[in-house]
Amino acid sequence: MKKRLLLSLCLALTTFAAEAPRPNIVFLLADDLGRADCGFMGGKDIQTPHLDKLAKAGAILDQFYVQPVCSPTRAALMTGRYPMRHGLQVGVVRPWAQYGLPLEERTLPQALKEVGYETAIVGKWHLGTFQPAYLPLQRGFDHQYGHYNGALDYFTHIRDGGFDWHKDDRENHDEGYSTHLIAKESVRLIRERDAKKPLFIYVPFNAVHAPHQVPEDYLKPYAQLKGNRQKYAGMLAAMDEAVGQISAAIDEAGMRKNTLFIFSSDNGGPNPGQITDNGPLRAGKGTLYEGGTRVVAFATWDGVIKAGSTVKAPLHMVDWYPTLLKLGGAKLEQKLPLDGRDAWPAITQNAASPHDFILLNTTPSNGAIRMGDWKLVLGGNIADNEDGGGEAKKKGKKKNAATKGENVELFNLASDPNEKTNLAASQPEKVAELRAKLAELAAQAVPPKSIPMEKGFKTPRVWGQVD
C-alpha cells in the first residue's frame, strides 16, 4: 500500500513538473551600481522603493559574482561560459572594435527562442557591432531597442561623435532621457507581447554608468549630497522608477504569478566612497577584489522563491544560462561546454553552491579564483583601471619576496570577507592548490581580443546601421 502511494505521488509530481508553465523572465541589469547603494542592501542615502519591494519579495543573492567590467559580464550571461573562452576577458568592447562575442557561441535568447520564447533586449548590448551578424537581432532577440555601446550621453545618445540609439537594429531618433526611454519601451513590449508565448525580456540599463546625467527633478531630493554623488543618486532613483514601471506592467498584464525577476549589477561600483558605495568590500570596478566582482543581486518569483530569504551560496553570472534554460525547457546539450551550473537548488532549496571553484578572471597580467572559502588573487595590486577601486593607485604595486616579486594574495572569505589579511605567506599549500587550478584554467583561455584605443576617434558614426 505504501509503495503504491509513493508511486502515485511520484507520478503526480512528475506530471506537475511536465505541465508546469514556463516562467516569463525579466532580467534587469544595472551598470556600475554600488553593492550597498540600494535600500534593501542597507543603503540610506538613496531611495529605491521599487527595487526594495521586489528584492524583499524574493531572495537576495549575497555572494553573487560577475566580471570586473561590463562586456565580460554580459558575455558570461549570454553564453554560460567564462569570458576567457571568448577572448573578452580584458577590457570592454569599444565602439570601434573589430570583434565581438564570437558567432559560434549559442546565446541565451537563441536557446530560449528555440523553445518558443518571445525575446527582447531593451538597453545596452556592448558585445560587438562591427558586422550585422554581431547585432542583437542576429543573436537570438526578436526585438531590440536602445544602444550598442557604453558611456553614451543620456540625452543626445551620442558616444565619441557617433549616434548610438537603435530599434530593431536600425537607427532610431526617439528623444528623451535614456532611462525613461528604456522603461517606456519595456512596458510597451510587455503590453503588446504575444500572450501565447512566454516572454524573456532583458533590460540592461546604462544607468548608473558615467557620464553622470539626470533631469534636474531627480536631483532635488538629494541636495545633501554633492557633485557626482548627487547626480548618481538621481540616476539610481530614475532607474528605480523605471523598474517600478516594468513591474507594474507585469502586474497589469496578469503575469506576476508566473514571472521570474532577476536583478544584478554588471560589476562593482567605481570610485567607492566617492560616487558609489560597495559597503565594506575591498576596492571596486575593474579590480579582482570583492568590491569589483561581488555585486548586488536578487531573484524573485512569487510562490516559488521564498520571500525575504538570503542565498549565501557563491554563484556566478554564468550560472543563469543553464538555470534559465532548464526553467524554460531548453536543452543544455551543445557544442561548446558550459562553465555555468544550475543555481536553482541553491536559490530555492538552500542547497550548497553548485561550484567546486569560481573563476573570477584570468588574463595575461592577473587572475583570481575562489575555491570554497579561499580566494587567490594574482596581480591584484597593480593599479586599477581608470575608475576602479582606487586603493591600488594609492599604494602602488606590492611585491612579495617569497614569490619572486610577484604579487600573490590569499584570503579566507569566511573569516575575512573584506580581504584585509593576506594569508599567502602562512598558507603556501593552499596557495599552491589554488594556483594550480587557476593555471589549468588559464591554459584554456584564448588570447584577449582587445586592441589599443584609437586615439582621436571623432568621426561621426552610426554603429550597426543595416541597409
Identify whether 255 is part of a domain: yes
Identify whether 456 is part of a domain: no
Catalytic annotation present for 38: no
Question: Residues of the chain with pLDDT > 90: what percent?
Answer: 86
Q: Is the pLDDT at 317 greater than 50, yes or no?
A: yes
Identify whether 448 is part of a domain: no
Work out how many domains the chain is built from and give that number: 2
Q: Is the pLDDT at 2 greater than 90, yes or no?
A: no
CA distance 236 to 219: 11
85 and 202 belong to one structural domain: yes
Task: Determine the pLDDT at residue 406.
Answer: 72
Between 7 and 97, residue with greater pLDDT? 97
340 and 367 belong to one structural domain: no
Task: Determine the pLDDT at residue 7.
Answer: 46
| From 38, 50, 86, 126, active-site residue | 126
Identify whether 380 is part of a domain: yes
Q: Is the pLDDT at 342 greater than 80, yes or no?
A: yes
CATH number for the domain spanning 322: value is 3.40.720.10
Lowest mean pLDDT among 123-137, 179-193, 379-393: 379-393
342 and 371 belong to one structural domain: no
CATH number for the domain spanning 364: value is 3.30.1120.10
Task: Determine the pLDDT at residue 453.
Answer: 43
Identify whether 436 is part of a domain: yes
Question: Residues of the chain with pLDDT > 70: what percent?
Answer: 87
Task: Determine the pLDDT at residue 450.
Answer: 84
Q: Which of 349, 369, 396 is the last residue of a domain?
A: 349
Q: Which of 349, 379, 398 is the last residue of a domain?
A: 349
Mean pLDDT computed over 335-348: 98
113 and 166 belong to one structural domain: yes
Host domain of residue 368: 358-442
Task: Determine the pLDDT at residue 11.
Answer: 42
Q: Identify the CA nearest to 159 among candidates 127, 126, 131, 203.
A: 126
pLDDT tens-digit map of 357-392? 999 999 999 999 999 999 999 998 644 333 444 333
| From 38, 70, 86, 143, active-site residue | 70
Identify whether 197 is part of a domain: yes
Catalytic annotation present for 70: yes
Identify whether 408 is part of a domain: yes
431 and 302 belong to one structural domain: no
Between 206 and 405, residue with greater pLDDT? 206
Q: Is the pLDDT at 41 greater than 90, yes or no?
A: yes
364 and 343 belong to one structural domain: no
The pTM of this model reads 0.90
184 and 158 belong to one structural domain: yes
Mean pLDDT computed over 250-270: 98
265 and 152 belong to one structural domain: yes
pLDDT band at 340 (very low <50, low <70, confident <90, very high): very high
Q: Is the pLDDT at 18 greater than 60, yes or no?
A: no
Q: Which of 349, 366, 382 is the last residue of a domain?
A: 349
Q: To the nearest whole number, what is the mean pLDDT of the chain?
A: 90
363 and 424 belong to one structural domain: yes
Identify whether 452 is part of a domain: no
CA distance 56 to 34: 18
Task: Determine the pLDDT at residue 459.
Answer: 31
pLDDT band at 42 (very low <50, low <70, confident <90, very high): very high
79 and 97 belong to one structural domain: yes
217 and 190 belong to one structural domain: yes
Task: Determine the pLDDT at residue 254.
Answer: 98
293 and 436 belong to one structural domain: no
Mean pLDDT computed over 387-407: 44
